[in-house]
Amino acid sequence: MGSYQNINTLKPEGIENKKAYLIGGGIASLAAAEYLIRDGHMNGKNIIILEETDILGGAMDGCGNAEDGYVARGGREMEEHYECTWDLFGGVPSLEEPGRTVLDEFRELNIDDPNYSNCRAIANRGEKLDFSSLGLGEIHVKQLTKLFLATEDALGATTVEQFFEPTFFETNMWLYWRSMFAFETWHSVVEMKHYMHRFIHLMPGMSKMSGLVFTKYNQYDSMILPLKKLLESKGVVFDLNTQVTNLDIDITEGKKTVTGIHLTRNGEKEEIIKTTKDDLVFFTNGSMTENSTLGSMEKAPVIDRSEGGCWRLWKNISKKDASFGRPEVFCGNIDKTKWESYTITSKGPKMIKLIEKFAGRKILPHKTITGGIITIKDSNWVLSVTANRHLQFTDQPDDVVVLWAYALLLDKEGNFIKKKMGDCTGKELLQELLYHLGIDEKDMQEYIDTSIVIPAMMPYVTSQFMPRVKGDRPQVVPEGSTNLAFLGQFAEIENDCVFTVEYSIRSAMMAVYTLLGLEKNPPEVYPSQYDVRVIANATKTLYSGRPLPAEAIIKKLLKDTTLEGLI
């Protein structure tokens, strides 16, 4: 966007007569509500967020207590160049520091305590592995270069497994990649390409997790709650326990206008909200956390295979026009999109000392612990564990540590627990982790007695990575739409990456600016892929210290020039 584009918008004509209905209460809808007010000059009282559950935040969650156990189904790895995210939170007041913003406190925290992993991967029951190299051979570098240069149309619905030759999946890079981003071999290689372009400037720090930034607390308390408080203060209406079941859409002469919103409140009789072309409707189509279920220490979480309300609504809408996308591509194969995580709440010195051993640093309040996930290379489940900043919850006692773990291969038998991960209780999941951390079976009971483990099964968490082609995801504002926009991970945004907070917030900015016809554009996706310095550093990282092709010739050509030292 640049400073020249960072303007104060003019008030749109007739904005005082408009209402906005936002279907879904995740970060995309909350961001859209704020931009409707901030740049669209809409009265907050005319903005209604319709959410099927009893809480806002979507996938950005965090709840519980030290006695019953904390829960966070997932986490977010962020970086400095989330331009839309920081634009949003640069205008959201901090809840802890009067006169400052969420961005102010976030940036200061990450400058004071920069992220760095001392232990990226382990094997052999606790042996720290060398992570100084990505372990790529010449053929792998060539394939990665080919992917970087390929067009999206040429790749089509190709999977990662179809694109790379088998030895690539034995490299450190694939281990780091799949565990950081939850990639599977059957996922779309186009999405992998998007990640390469979007985050190539972070390639040199990939094995150390440097360059990443994290919130002070869990992301509900650090990001969702202050944004919710701001919207409440502006009069935005939160209509919880309300499920939208269908939209009436008039399609005439290429124009598409929502004329009615069908909904039920608390499962009771259906109502219809009549809308006009002057009203706005934003729909977060698809959901990563729809149909989530929780387990306990003694109970495994079940897989809810019923058709969730969010997916059902998208299917109903998609039948009305091809431009509304094809949801079946993403929600039609739960066994390829399911994912399980578990949150460990552990009291006392035993677990703290164990985690400090692998983290390589002391556990101190508001300081980084592991610096990102530790992946267990020889785990049958491809299990990873992390302890984020201590403390993760505002009411968390100092002597309680919260760990978060997840795995990629839920249907394989564990190395210690001879069951599929998806069939394991919280106790069994803890035992499997303790085994890989080097704890013998006879010594596990003390950890078990002082821990609460809550597993979370999520049927659709990696659905946004499923192979797709053009048209499977609707445009943020489909062609001909007068008052309907799509938000979130399943809307089409050129050049940005799904499975990120940034993607959701960018969709919100695009939707608001387009539907209101504002003379403002969202910030540009950080263009590091076009920076020759970034490309040079990334290439050196891929070669892991080996000489680059024609390196000697290039150095000779650049000698005594302003580009000397580029290679």
Give the Cα-Cα-Cα angle 444, 448, 449 (nearest 5 degrees): 120
**One-letter amino acid of 354:** L
- HSE, CB side, 13 Å, CA atoms: give it for residue 263: 21
**Helix/strand/coil percent split, the chain, to 5:** 35, 20, 45
Catalytic residue among 51, 77, 340, 432: 77
Give the Cα-Cα-Cα angle 117, 120, 125 (nearest 5 degrees): 130
Burial classification of residue 500, based on how many CB atoms lie within 10 Å of its CB (0-12 exposed, 13-18 middle, 19 or more buried): buried
Structure tokens at 284: 């977060």
Continuous segment of H or E residues that includes residue 485: strand 484-487
Q: SS3 for 191-234, per residue?
A: HHHHHHHHCHHHHHHCCCCCCEECCCCCHHHHHHHHHHHHHHHC
* Max Cα distance, the chain (Å): 78
* CA–CA separation, 332 and 329 (whole Å): 6
What is the 8-class DSSP label of residue 425? -
Catalytic residue among 21, 82, 176, 195: 195
| Chain center to CA of 148 | 22
* CA–CA separation, 327 and 468 (whole Å): 10
Rounded alpha-carbon distances, angstroms, from residue 169 to 213, 282, 405 = 27, 40, 22
Is 220 marked active-site?
no
Tokens 């000698």 belong to residue = 559
Q: Where in the sequence numbering do the catalytic residues fall? A: 77, 195
